[in-house]
Amino acid sequence: MNFRINDYKLLQTNYDPSREVIDYGVRMVGAPLEWGETMGEGIKVGIIDTGIDSDHFELKNRIKDGINTCAVGSLDNIEDENGHGTHISGIVAAEKNGKGVVGVAPKADLYIAKAFDSEGTSNFEAIEKAILWMIDKNVDVVNMSFSSAAGGRAYTELIHKLYANGTSVICAAGNEGEQGENTIGYPAKFKETVAVSAVDINKNIADFSSKGSSAEICAAGINIYSTYLDGGFALLSGTSMAAPIITGAVAILHGKGMLRYGRRLTPDEIRLLLNIYTEDLSGGRGRDKSYGYGFFSFGRIGLNDYVIDEIKKKYRPAYSGRDIISAAIAIIASGL
């Protein structure tokens, strides 16, 4: 079984860190609204990708552990030779330090598995080792911005094991949208994972964003500014860039769970919260093959949309009089 990081477009590189930028994708997801309560402190975020620029001033303090599962290089060599993994890491957790760029959860802890080579290719053995390592490290959420054409029993069991460990699995939907109406690959297609589509600044679906019944939510994925190789920064486009925005948001949700309830949230609770916080972009039809349930943002709290309306209809006793996180926990406990 062959794996590739999702194709992406490198639009521009920039090595001037003199000013701090909060990218439009981070603003659209509403992350700054939550930073007063939590920036993801103490939350373990796993990233399975091409590695990371471990000396980058925005990332080096966020890296807590790493492993190289590729056939090439030593086990502790997680240096990125491609750029994809470094860009994703910055979207999740680039530090808020007055310069460079800011991630969605700028105090989250990064656990890096370098499973892809410089060409962005991998195999099942490398992916398996990376996922088992994430389980061993007991990470709270894992970002997977890569695809394969097939699932298979061993792969299915592996993802289920990760999910059963209590780890939320956030995946890029893929960049095959122009090739048909059912183009989402694996792992985004697994039932345990959250498939993230890409939209532009106007919340229009990207032409390249893969489509299918597995599409769940969407986030900005065009011209996203984040960290890059050699201590630099770059603009990249792809569902690979949308997924880590959601991964960072999950880190914030876990941070809120730890502060309010003294525990991380379960994958089912996280999934419900992600869906509750969406803006329906389907014209009132609910979940569709492009946008999923819609555009995720913390700024959606308390606003009526398709998901909240449906929850109120079916689970009003659990929802009534509670904040949105408590409502989600009560709904899951009631057997949703």
* Torsion over CA: 7, 10, 16, 19 (sign): negative
Is 240 one of the annotated active-site residues of the chain?
A: yes
Looking up tokens 């939209």 gives 199
DSSP 155-172: HHHHHHHHHHTT-EEEEE
Is 49 one of the annotated active-site residues of the chain?
A: yes
Q: Are 140 and 168 in contact (CB under 8 A)?
A: yes
Catalytic residue among 23, 80, 84, 109: 84
Catalytic residue among 237, 240, 290, 297: 240
CA angle, residues 144, 132, 259, in degrees to nearest 5: 70
Query: Residue 327 phi/psi, 5° resolution?
Result: -65, -45
Looking up tokens 């095959």 gives 176
* Residue 34: strand, helix, or coil: helix
Tell me how far the alpha carbon of residue 138 is from its chain's centroid: 17
Please give the Cα distance from 83 to 227 (Å, whole number). Answer: 9
Catalytic residue among 23, 49, 109, 280: 49
Annotated catalytic sites, by residue?
A: 49, 84, 240
